[in-house]
């Protein structure tokens, strides 16, 4: 696996970073379904987890006209065992359709899937080089116990 970019001068900021069932960006807008995971329930283990990392970046003037290589990673919160890792390069040639006085925003959506052997807390992170721009955690769990059946 290649190392992350060691030197990074970051101007961009993550305004929103979430885990969702699915997401896609449509121009300057972000379409999201089933967002804001606190947990993902597996019927049995091992389990295949599918979803999307999605968010919105705030862009500064220095961000325009250059390539931005962002890394997206999902790892176990307790031991950093990596479940998913990819990178995407974004090029923003010019300012988007932001209103005057409002920062320009760029949506991103990265689908993912990975296998997991058992319940654990996962940490999703977006990085530029070795700088953490945003993170969110969610728990992978077994179905909650329905409890005893009660007759009326």
Q: Name the pTM for this structure.
A: 0.83
Position 11 scores a pLDDT of 61
Do the Cβ atoms of 12 and 58 come closer than 8 Å? Answer: yes
Position 58 scores a pLDDT of 86
Q: What are 89's strand-pairing partners?
A: 69
First to last CA, the chain: 59
Beta strand 67-76 pairing with 104-116: unpaired
Position 61 scores a pLDDT of 78
**How many Å is the maximal CA-CA distance in the chain?**
68
Position 85 scores a pLDDT of 94
- Give Cα separations from 143 to 40, 44, 78, 139, 146 (angstroms): 9, 8, 21, 12, 8
- pLDDT tens string, the chain, 152 residues long: the values are 444 443 444 567 899 999 999 999 888 889 999 999 999 999 999 999 999 999 998 888 777 888 888 999 999 999 888 999 999 888 777 766 667 788 888 899 999 999 999 999 999 999 988 889 999 999 999 988 755 655 55
Do the Cβ atoms of 54 and 32 come closer than 8 Å? Answer: yes
Position 13 scores a pLDDT of 86
Give 74's contacts (C-beta < 8 A, 6+ positions apart): 53, 82, 83, 84, 85, 112, 114, 122, 123, 124, 125
Position 28 scores a pLDDT of 82
């Amino acid at each position: 696996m290649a190392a992350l970019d060691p030197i990074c001068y970051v101007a961009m900021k993550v305004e929103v970073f979430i885990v969702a069932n699915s997401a896609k960006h449509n121009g300057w807008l972000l379409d999201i379904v089933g967002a804001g995971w606190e947990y993902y329930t597996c019927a049995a283990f091992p389990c295949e987890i599918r979803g999307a990392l999605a968010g919105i970046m705030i862009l500064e003037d220095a961000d325009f006209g250059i390539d931005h290589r962002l890394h997206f990673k999902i790892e176990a919160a307790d031991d950093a065992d990596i479940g998913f890792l990819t990178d995407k390069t974004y090029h923003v040639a010019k300012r988007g359709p932001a209103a005057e006085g409002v920062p320009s925003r760029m949506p991103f959506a990265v689908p993912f899937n990975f296998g997991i052997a058992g319940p654990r807390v996962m940490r999703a992170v977006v990085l530029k080089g070795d700088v953490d721009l945003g993170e969110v955690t969610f728990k992978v769990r077994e179905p909650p116990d329905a409890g005893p059946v009660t007759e009326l």
